[in-house]
Amino acid sequence: MVQMLRRLGRVSAVTIVLSGFLVMGVTLFSDWRITVVQGATDGWLAPLAPEAQRQAIERQLRGFDVTMAEVGYRYTEMYFGVVEDNWDYALYTAEKIGVAIQNGLERRPKRRANAEALFLKSVYPAVLEALKQKDAALFKERFDAMRAACNACHVAEEVPFIRVGVPAQQLTPLLHR
C-alpha cells in the first residue's frame, strides 16, 4: 500500500511555492507576536497609529492565499504521515487543515459557502474518520475524494489553474519511524 501511495503522483509547483509563503507568513506573525507580548517599543508596529497597525497586520496576514499555503503544506504532511505509517502525525496535520481553513474564513468570509459545502461539511470529516480508523485503503479512497473536492472548490472560487495533485515529496524532514 505504501508503494502504491508513493507512485500516485507529484507535488505541484504551487504546493512548494505556497509552502514558502507559509514559512514567510509564520515568521512575520511570530515576530509581531513577540513584539506585542514583550511590550517592545521599537518593533515594526510601534511607530504606527492603532488604525495603521491594524492595516499593517492585515497586509501581513493577507487573504485566503496564505491559508491555502498552510493547507497545502499540511495536506502533503498528512499524506506522508499515512505513507510512513505515522497515523498520529497524519491526524494531527489533518486537524490543522481545518483550523487553517477556519482562520482563513475569518479573514475572508466570502469563501465560506464553497469551503463548507465542498470541503468542511463533506469530505473533510470522512478523511478525519479514516485517519482515526488507521485504515490505509479507506484513507486512499477518501483522500482521492478530498483532492477532487479541493479542485472543485478552486474552480468554484475562480482559480481553476490551481490543481491539487498527489504529493510526491515530503516537505518536512521528520523521522516517522
Q: What are the boundaries of each domain within the chain?
A: 2-156
Query: What is d(CA 176, CA 82) in angstroms, rounded to the nearest whole number?
Result: 10
Annotate 35-102 with DSSP letters as a single string.
HHHHT-SSSTTTTS-HHHHHHHHHHHH-SHHHHHHHHHHHHHHHHHHHHTT-HHHHHHHHHHHHHHHH
pLDDT for 11: 38
- Give the pLDDT means over successive 10-residue stretches in the chain (177 positions): 44 42 48 47 85 89 91 96 95 98 94 96 98 98 98 97 94 72
CATH class of 2-156: mainly alpha
Task: Tell me the three cell numbers of residue 20.
Answer: 514558502
pLDDT for 97: 98
Query: What is d(CA 174, CA 169) in angstroms, rounded to the nearest whole number?
Result: 12
Residue type, 73: Y
Query: What is d(CA 90, CA 83) in angstroms, rounded to the nearest whole number?
Result: 9
CA distances from 62 to 16, 24, 72, 97, 99 (A): 18, 12, 16, 18, 16
pLDDT for 105: 95
pLDDT for 171: 85
